[in-house]
Structure formats: structure tokens, C-alpha cells
Structure 1
Amino acid sequence: MPKTRADDRVIVLGYYRGRARTTNRPYQAAFAHDLTITDDLIARLTQITDTDLGTTPA
């Protein structure tokens, strides 16, 4: 997963993968995490996820 760091901020890009509980069909969803770090702890997390699982094949 690519990561970039600038001062107290970290951006992480990646994919969630799994299977739907009701259909057992595999899925994959892209995500981005925007973290703010303060005193070596996560002070803020913004998560952006592609939730249109019907168009993203695994």
C-alpha cells in the first residue's frame, strides 16, 4: 500500500477484501485513510471507502 507522510499527517491507500454475508460473493472496496498523529497517537482519522460494491469485482 502506498503511504505518504507530511509532518503529523499520514495518507494510506488500499483495498478491503472479503465475502458478502448474505450471498458469500467476494468483493473488493477501495479505501483512503487520512490520519493526523499527535504525540505518537492517532488524533484524527478520516476514512473514505468505495461502497458501490456492485461494480467492483474481486
Structure 2
Amino acid sequence: MLPQSHPNYKTVHRRFQTWCRAETLRRALKDIANELRDNGMLDEEECFIDATFAIAKGG
């Protein structure tokens, strides 16, 4: 469910998959984290990873 201002969902998904294969998102997030850490704005003792999974029924 993308806003009307975004391209077709297939285009968005294809670009996302391309970025994942090229590790573009990983590098961007790593650069952001490094910049925050360098500026004293990231306390790694306060960091955690969380995930939520929802089952999508086929059909």
C-alpha cells in the first residue's frame, strides 16, 4: 500500500530487491550509525534489534 506519489508497487519491489542484492541499504544504515556514533548521538548500550512477523495466508 504505497502513496499515490510512488511508482507502481512492482517497480518499488524490484528496486528494493536490487538494493538488497547490492547491499545498498546495509551500507546506508551503517553510514548513518557511524555518523551518529561519531557525533555522540548513538549509545550502543541502548541499542537492540526487534522484529515482528505476521503470517500472510495464500489465496
- With normalisation by structure 2, the TM-score equals 0.20
* Greater share of residues in strand: 1
* Greater share of residues in helix: 2
Structure number with higher relative contact order (C-alpha < 8 Å, ≥ 6 residues apart): 1
- With normalisation by structure 1, the TM-score equals 0.20
